[in-house]
Amino acid sequence: MHHHGFHSTENYGSAREAASGHGSGHGHAHGHQAPAAAGQPASDVHTRAGTGTWNGPAPTGMRGVANQAAAASGPVREPETVRLSNGVRLPLIGLGTAAIKDPAAIKAALELGYRHIDCAWFYGNEEVVGDGLADFIASGRRDELFVVSKVWNTHHRPEAVRRSVDESLSKLRCGHLDLLLMHWPEAWTPESSFEAPVEDTGVTIAETWAAMEALVDEGRVKALGVSNFSLKQVEALLATCRIRPVVNQVELHPLCPQRKLVGVLFRHGVQCVAYSPLGGQSLVKPNTLLNSPLVEKIAKEVGKSPAQLLLKWNIQRGVPIIAKSSSPDRLAENLSGMYDWKLSYEHKAALDELVAAAGGKEERFIDFPWKAWADPEEGGVAKPSKVMGL
């Protein structure tokens, strides 16, 4: 029923199991993991006690029990990676390189322990990133890195896909890409600008994907994925592709949890990765999440910063995050000690209610006039109300 790379996260079943005291007998731990400290539950990422990806507040009758089972009573050691469907481990905390202008920021991140490096042709700074990676790679440590780049909207034609990746590899100087993503499912003509895009009707997603697959065949790219795809779009790609996507990188945080997308794709063997896990950096619209009173209140209760709290919300449900910063202090805050603690079930449930407080409508901070987002209920199993037209 589940993909062989399946790992589960905390859900209603976890709460029921805490109440009964019985294990599910379906553990899916991958590789070595240190045992949890006394009184601590195992990681949400590496245990399975119910029906799948954590899906918000447990039913009222379960909350007290779940809180007792997950209450922090000592140190824990959470997993630092997830296993992708191709068997490769992806670090749960990645470094976003957009807007980084100094190789020193990359070098500082590597020194702190970052190994998942998220780049893109569109960011226009892959040469800077390459300068930052150069000494690390020259020391013979390339295999420690997981380097990602992306095919931009104006590069969807097969010959442009190849030119784009050639350029990225030349600037990054990392030998190969561990993961290549299609940045958006929108194809634009070569002369298009971000402010004035023109749809390229002469190429399909399937043709772009086939060009990406050829780069895997040649060994220049190890794995493929997508970004900003809807569930329906990923399912359409899965139905026709030769090499399956291992990742869909999308905006994910408590105001935009996209639970159906995360859960259904997970069962297809496609791991969602969160960009803008803090709600964005006010580049497109003001960030109302990071400094919200509820986030600040819970952060104070758990003794962490609001940023650490929001990163943990995704990490604890088994979703890798891309955190962007060039500040050494923020780089350290986003990584150091993040695997040594857990949110209680009640704290996770409280964060989950942010959407309800906003009227039940998910809020995106990365949104553009040219992007028409799909109905989140499209794809997967339709809600009965949808089927019945209610």
**What is the band of 26 on the pLDDT scale with cuts at 50, 70, 90?**
very low
- Residue that wins the pLDDT comparison between 189 and 386: 189
Question: Residue 160 falls within a domain, yes or no?
Answer: yes
Which positions are annotated as active-site residues?
Answer: 123
pLDDT of residue 280: 76
Q: What is the Cα–Cα distance from 202 to 225, expressed in whole angstroms?
A: 22
Question: Residue 174 falls within a domain, yes or no?
Answer: yes
Which residues, 6+ apart, have CB-to-CB distance to 389 below 8 Å?
none
Look at the chain and report how many structural domains it folds into: 1
**What is the band of 12 on the pLDDT scale with cuts at 50, 70, 90?**
very low
Q: What is the Cα–Cα distance from 315 to 93, expressed in whole angstroms?
A: 8
- Residue that wins the pLDDT comparison between 360 and 343: 343
Domain hosting residue 372, numbered range? 81-338+360-387
pLDDT of residue 60: 37
pLDDT of residue 77: 84
pLDDT digits (tens, 9 = 90+) for 241-261: 999 999 999 999 999 999 999
Question: Residue 113 falls within a domain, yes or no?
Answer: yes
Q: Are 253 and 278 in contact (CB under 8 A)?
A: yes
Q: Is it the case that residue 162 has pLDDT exceeding 70?
A: yes
Q: What is the Cα–Cα distance from 158 to 146, expressed in whole angstroms?
A: 25
pLDDT of residue 108: 98
Q: Is it the case that residue 47 has pLDDT exceeding 50?
A: no
Which residues, 6+ apart, have CB-to-CB distance to 384 below 8 Å?
390
Question: Residue 19 falls within a domain, yes or no?
Answer: no
**What is the band of 68 on the pLDDT scale with cuts at 50, 70, 90?**
very low
Q: Is it the case that residue 263 has pLDDT exceeding 80?
A: yes
pLDDT of residue 76: 80
pLDDT of residue 27: 32
- Residue that wins the pLDDT comparison between 285 and 277: 277
Query: What's the Cα-to-Cα distance from 52 to each of 108, 208, 263, 321, 353, rounded to whole Å?
Result: 37, 32, 7, 19, 20
pLDDT above 70 as % of the chain: 78
Q: Name the nearest CA neighbour of 374 among 199, 235, 239, 212.
A: 235
CATH of the domain at 235: 3.20.20.100
Q: What is the mean pLDDT of residues 149-165?
A: 98
Number of other residues whose CB lies within 10 A of the CB of residue 388: 8
Q: What is the mean pLDDT of residues 63-69?
A: 42
pLDDT digits (tens, 9 = 90+) for 291-323: 999 999 999 999 999 999 999 999 999 999 999
- Residue that wins the pLDDT comparison between 152 and 7: 152
Question: Residue 355 falls within a domain, yes or no?
Answer: no
Mean pLDDT of the chain: 84
**What is the band of 384 on the pLDDT scale with cuts at 50, 70, 90?**
low
Q: Name the nearest CA neighbour of 279 among 294, 266, 264.
A: 294
**What is the band of 360 on the pLDDT scale with cuts at 50, 70, 90?**
confident
The beta strand positions in the chain, using DSSP E, are 81-83, 89-91, 93-96, 116-118, 146-151, 179-182, 224-227, 247-251, 271-275, 321-324
pLDDT of residue 330: 96
Give the count of alpha carbons within 13 A of 167, CB side only.
18
Minimum mean pLDDT among 130-144, 162-176, 273-287: which range? Answer: 273-287
Q: What is the mean pLDDT of residues 159-169?
A: 98
3-state secondary structure of 375: coil
Question: Residue 60 falls within a domain, yes or no?
Answer: no
pLDDT of residue 67: 42
Is the pTM higher than 0.85?
Answer: no
pLDDT above 90 as % of the chain: 73
Question: Residue 374 falls within a domain, yes or no?
Answer: yes
Sign for the CA dihedral angle at 301, 66, 254, 3 comes to positive
Q: Name the nearest CA neighbour of 93 among 106, 77, 82, 84.
A: 82
Q: What is the mean pLDDT of residues 325-353?
A: 95
Q: What is the mean pLDDT of residues 107-134?
A: 98
Question: Residue 153 falls within a domain, yes or no?
Answer: yes
- Residue that wins the pLDDT comparison between 357 and 205: 205
Token pair recorded at residue 379: 């794809």
